[in-house]
Structures are given as C-alpha cells and as structure tokens.
Amino acid sequence: MSVSRLPWPAFVLLLPLVVWGLFGAWLYPHDPSAINLLAPHKPPAWLPGGDWHFVLGTDQFGRDMLSQIIAGARPALIVSLCGVALAAGIGIPAGLIAGFYGGWTDNVVMRVVDVKMSIPPILLTLLIGGAIGGGLATILISIALVFWADYARVVRSEALVLRNADYVALARVAGCSDLRILARHILPNLFATCIVLMTLQLGRALIVEASITFLGLGIQAPNTAWGLLIAEGRSFVTTDWWIPTFPGLCITVTVLGANMFGDWLRERLDPRLWQV
C-alpha cells in the first residue's frame, strides 16, 4: 500500500465509533434504557415480524437495539483512548529509564516486565476486578496494567540504541542534564514508534473492555456497553440472534478498522517500509 494514500476503509470502519461516541446522545432513535413490554424480541426491520420503528430489533425487555449500540460506543471510545494513554504514560517512562541508564535499573524494570508478561491478560483483569470491584475504573486500570509492558519493551530497545548516538554525546558535552537529554533528544525520536503502538493497541483495548464487561467486572447495568449487550443476549443466541450479534459485529468492525489504521500509520512513519 502506498504511504501517500489515505486508509479510507479504516476511516469508514472507525467512523461509527467516533460519531456515536461523540454525538450519540443526539442520535438515539429511542431512549436506550426505556423498557417497552409491548415490543420484546422484535427482529430487525427487514425480517418477517420486524418493525421499521426498531431498525435493528429489540431485546428481551423491548429496548431498541440500535439505541443501545449507539450508547455503547461512548464507553468503548473513552476506555480505548484513555486506557491506551494510561498504559503509554506508564510504559514509555519505564522504557526510557531502563534503556537510557541500563545496569541495575534496566534489570529491575525488565524483570517487572517479565513478571507481567507471564500473567495472562484475562487472569490479570479478573484479579484486578476481584480486588477493586467492577466499573469503569477497573477497565482503565486493567488496560493500563495489561499494555504498559509492551511500551516498556519497545521503548527500552530503542533507547539502548539512541543513548549512544552522536547528538546525545554532544548534548552531554554541552552540559545537558539527563532529563533534558531524555525529553529533548531521545523521546522525540521515539514519537513515531509510540504513536504506531498506541494506534495498534486501540483495538486490543476494546477487546479487553468487552471481555471484562462480558465477565461482569466492567461496565454495569443500567449503563450500556457492547460487551454487556453480548452478555445479556447470549441466552437468546439461538432464538433472537440479533441481540448478541450486532454488538459483536460492532466490536469486530471497530477492531478491524483500528488495526488497518495502525498498519497504515506504521508504513507511513517508518521510512524503511516506504515504496520507491
């Protein structure tokens, strides 16, 4: 793929998440939490028995599926962006310190990384949820603790190379402090790598959020989230398939779009991958 061409398929796939997440409160066809006992289990409008008043059908309580899906986009957007940012805020400084100073500092940081990498992500999230309970805070903490080690490993390997660069040696001769060297000379050269890694982790963060919520340790009712809709509809998968299917499709499409955008950004920011 040419680096000069914008990833329009990725933009199209991510557009619903962004639009619904930012402007969903003005786009609901119905109140997402309104129970309508006169219209439960209605199929999508294009199926027999469907009603165009409920385009994607209703769930077992008569709640409009489209409205719930739109409402679930906001926590997905918030959790993905904030969780990945928190992970980067922990992992990037840890990797910088380990790679720049080396020695025992590097050993300590990398041993902590090794311990974290030895724990399966789902098990780690279950432990966190059991310790602090469910909710948005649980999801954000889980994502930060699951992903920070990836940043630390990547940044540390880059910092090991950059600390021996000529411009770093010149900065030392000029009397620059270690903090100034890290902030003004090494970190800017890691910017592209960190941005690409953050973009690629957006989809993974969404999967973690949906998994935690599905297991009952994430976003709780009466709030709405895609993982919660799947959990509530799993009992009806053989009869009212649309209840868990449409939220699952939203997760799949969003993760695919995030991965496509991350791949394009990696090609765009890495000169070694540019086509002649």
Residue 39 lies in a domain: no
What's the domain count of the chain? 1
Residue 131 lies in a domain: yes
pTM of this prediction?
A: 0.85
Q: Tell me what percent of the chain is helix, strand and coil, each rounded to the nearest 5.
A: 70, 0, 25
| Angstrom distance (rounded) from CA 266 to CA 43 | 42
Residue 225 lies in a domain: yes
Residue 99 lies in a domain: yes
pLDDT-derived band of residue 272, with 50, 70 and 90 as boundaries? low
Q: Which residues 6+ apart lie within 8 Å of 109 measured at CB?
A: 94, 95, 97, 98, 152, 156
Decide if pLDDT at 47 tops 70.
yes
Note the pLDDT of residue 270: 64
Counting every residue written for the chain, the total comes to: 276
Residue 106's domain comprises: 8-22+73-229+243-273
Largest CA distance in the chain: 78
Which tokens sit at 45? 């409008």
User: What average pLDDT score do residues 147-157 get?
Assistant: 90
- Does residue 246 contact residue 232 with C-beta atoms inside 8 Å? no
* Helix, coil or strand: residue 46: coil
Looking at residue 32, its amino acid is P
Residue 199 lies in a domain: yes
Note the pLDDT of residue 67: 93
Q: Which residues 6+ apart lie within 8 Å of 256 measured at CB?
A: 13, 203
